[in-house]
Amino acid sequence: MTSSNSSDKPGALRTLSLRAPLDLLFLLCCVILTADVLGPEIFGHNGKTKDYALWYWAGQQVLHGGPLYPSDVNHQFEFIYPPLPAILLAIPSWFGKIPLYAMLSVLNAVVWWSTGNLSNAMTGSDRKPGPWLEALPVIVTVTFVFDMFDLGQPNLVLLAMMLYGFWSLQHQRSWLGGFMFALATAIKVYPIAVLPYLIWRRQWAAVVSMVAFIGILLYVVPAPIRGFERNAAELKTWYQGMVGSSSEKGFGQRDEQNWSWVNQSIIAVTHRLVRPINYNQEDPGKPPRTMNIIDVDYKTANWIVLAVSALLGLGFLAVMPPQRRRTPRSDAEELGILFCLMTVASPLARQYYFMWLFFPITVLMHRAAFDARANVRLGTWLALGLAGILMVLSLQLFPNVIQAWGNNLMATAVLGVALAWHIRHPPVAAGSEAATGLKPKPSST
């Protein structure tokens, strides 16, 4: 007997159920992670550390009309984001630290659920996952989620925004999709990397919407609160300090992080491999260590980064199917590769940035569970296992040099290659289910 509930249909979003054991486990995890945020603030002597105090400070600066950035761009910025996030933080900051921290924790819990929900709905597998398959991507990425709660970073929020943006595009809501991409970009710049993809796929409504809303969110929305001229001046200061500054010493106001082992972006790993850079520079107490296999100057290293990036971009274009051959299945794999590339293309890609691998992992898990070809299912599980082993090497019990060599970057490459293989080797179809590469559904009586 078939249920008439729309949430039972493949690709449908579903609501949280208090009758589902795994959903209750999810809620318990959210409570524990929220306690990690609020506990030190309520019961500790020094309060919650990490970035939470910075978010409160930024909100208070807006409430009291204080500056967000130093007048001299050569001085280190405390707040390295555009003005819009500070505006958004001002209202909960008015109520105090605990309400602000609680709001951010609830927001993380909501977008965590939304990320899993949207990811499972957008895999293109035309098969509703069972509870354990639905939960598996959440389980294997839980350490990244812990970082989101513990550090107070917005990367999980940005991931949910990007997924909802693409979900909106799939449902012919291009302007809403463009707005979500713009909002993510106005909070933390690196989602701007989606714009060339939208242009290539001729999503013109989303392109216009994204560009227009970026301007509105950066210039218009803060103006009534900060003043148009002041907001424009702060945006200029932020751009000069964060985007417009780049040198051999570093970039983006965090010189000690740029070239150290904590950064696994394409830029950072390439520079460490081709220049004698101390990958322990974030901690002056540690002895200097280098890992370069050749020795070139800074300018040549940048040309190598550009060449590597160009090859990756051309490779992505080569595996993307033409418009006439696109399917929901290939679109999911294509977006999975895009998320991989956006993650490592960011100039600074710390450990928690790789939370964005949630969607590629989910797509591959659906292929590993549902592909009609037994050898393909096995190979996909092996690729996922290899990526998982590489990511586990980031745990503190392993030496930092492994991260300096880019273990998460290599894991991202494994996932990207696996997704590219699936795009280039779709199942040869005879029937409707073979066309999507699904194992036949069990017959019901």
| Cβ neighbours, 10 Å, residue 200 | 12
Per-residue exposure over 266-283, b if at least 16 CB sit within 10 Å of its own CB, e if not: bbbbbbbbbbebbbbbbe
Residue 371 pairs in a beta bridge with 438
Distance CA 309, CA 118 (A): 29
Question: Is 137 inside a domain boundary?
Answer: no
Residue type at 1 in one-letter notation: M
Query: Residue 246: what are its φ and ψ, rounded to 5°?
Result: -155, 130
Q: How far is the C-alpha of 180 from the C-alpha of 138, rounded, in Å?
A: 23
Residue 98 and residue 42 in contact, taking contact as beta carbons nearer than 8 Å:
yes
* Category of 406 on φ-ψ map: left (φ > 0), alpha (ψ -120 to 50) or beta: left
In this structure, is residue 157 part of a structural domain? no
Question: Does a structural domain hold residue 51?
Answer: no
The CA distances from residue 56 to 76, 82, 155, in Å, are 19, 15, 18
* Contact by Cβ (8 Å): 423, 334: yes
Q: Domain for residue 92, yes or no?
A: no
Report if residue 39 sits inside a domain: no
Our measurement of the distance from residue 437's CA atom to the centroid of its chain's CA atoms, rounded to an integer in Å, reads 28
Is 176 in contact with 168 (CB distance < 8 Å)?
yes
Q: Is 294 among the domain residues?
A: yes
Which pLDDT tens digits describe the chain residue by residue (445 residues)? 333 444 566 667 888 888 889 999 999 999 999 999 999 888 877 777 778 999 999 999 999 999 998 887 777 788 888 999 999 999 999 999 999 999 999 999 999 999 999 999 999 988 888 899 999 999 999 999 999 999 989 999 999 999 999 999 999 999 999 999 999 999 998 899 999 999 999 999 999 999 999 999 999 999 999 889 999 998 888 888 777 666 666 665 566 678 899 999 999 999 999 999 999 988 878 888 999 999 999 999 999 999 999 999 999 999 999 989 999 999 999 999 999 999 999 888 999 999 999 999 999 999 999 999 999 999 999 999 999 999 999 998 999 999 999 999 999 999 999 999 999 999 875 344 444 455 555 544 3
Per the structure, the count of domains in the chain is 1
220 within 8 A of 212, measured Cβ to Cβ: no
Does residue 307 form part of some domain? yes
Query: 407 in a domain, yes or no?
Result: yes
- For residues 156 and 162, what is the distance between their CA atoms, to the nearest angstrom? 10
Domain extent at residue 327: 252-445
Contact of 210 with 237, CB cutoff 8 Å: no
Q: Specify the DSSP class assigned to residue 219.
A: I
Is 0.75 surpassed by the pTM of this model? yes
Partner residues linked to 251 by β-bridges: 246
Q: Sign of the C-alpha dihedral, residues 71, 265, 341, 354?
A: negative
Q: Which amino acid is at 65?
A: G
